[in-house]
Amino acid sequence: MQEVVLDLEFIIGHYNYWLFVILMMTGLYITVSRGNLIKKVVGLNLFQTSVFMLYISMGKIEGGTAPILTGDPNTVYSNPLPHVLILTAIVVGIATTALALALVVRIGEEFGSIEEDELIEIEHELDFAEESAEASPVPGQGDANKGEPGGK
């Protein structure tokens, strides 16, 4: 019978993956659990950053230097490809964050709140208002869901 041992060396040797998993789960948890829209974006950022870490640590070769030609044929280089990929992913992350924050600013202006539970309440009220408007059409009701004119 094979003895089950806690392979400490294996666990410590793969510490970059543990960090990745912890960071990823933290980010995902924040994204899912927080009600504040900004905090959600922060969680999303954390989640994306964890992936950057996964990729970058993947490209590391023991004893390898930065992948810049040294002229010495015996030099061991780290794998540059994951770094380049992550450069692209970082740019995507920036674009996503900027767009998300822009949406949050607009939501804040239009709804007067950036808390998810309050937003859901407002939207339910909107639904209800629309349904009761159907039952008894009130003139000018259409303007109610146009939002404030301030947001440009």
Summarize as ranges the residues that interact with another protein (CB under 8 A): 24, 28, 31, 37, 40, 44, 47-48, 51, 54-55, 58, 66, 68, 81-82, 85, 87-89, 91-92, 95-96, 98-111, 119, 123, 126, 130-131, 134, 142, 145-147, 150-151
Rounded least distance, CB 100 to another protein, Å? 5
Q: Which is nearer to another protein, 2 or 137 (CB)?
A: 137
Rounded least distance, CB 26 to another protein, Å? 14
Report the sign of the C-alpha dihedral through residues 53, 57, 59, 60, in that order: positive
Contacts of 101 (CB under 8 A, 6+ apart): 38, 41
Q: Which residue has the tokens 């640590």?
A: 57
How far CA 62 is from CA of 30, 65, 81, 85, in Å, comes to: 34, 9, 16, 20
Q: Which is nearer to another protein, 18 or 123 (CB)?
A: 123
Q: Which is nearer to another protein, 8 or 148 (CB)?
A: 148
Contacts of 150 (CB under 8 A, 6+ apart): 109
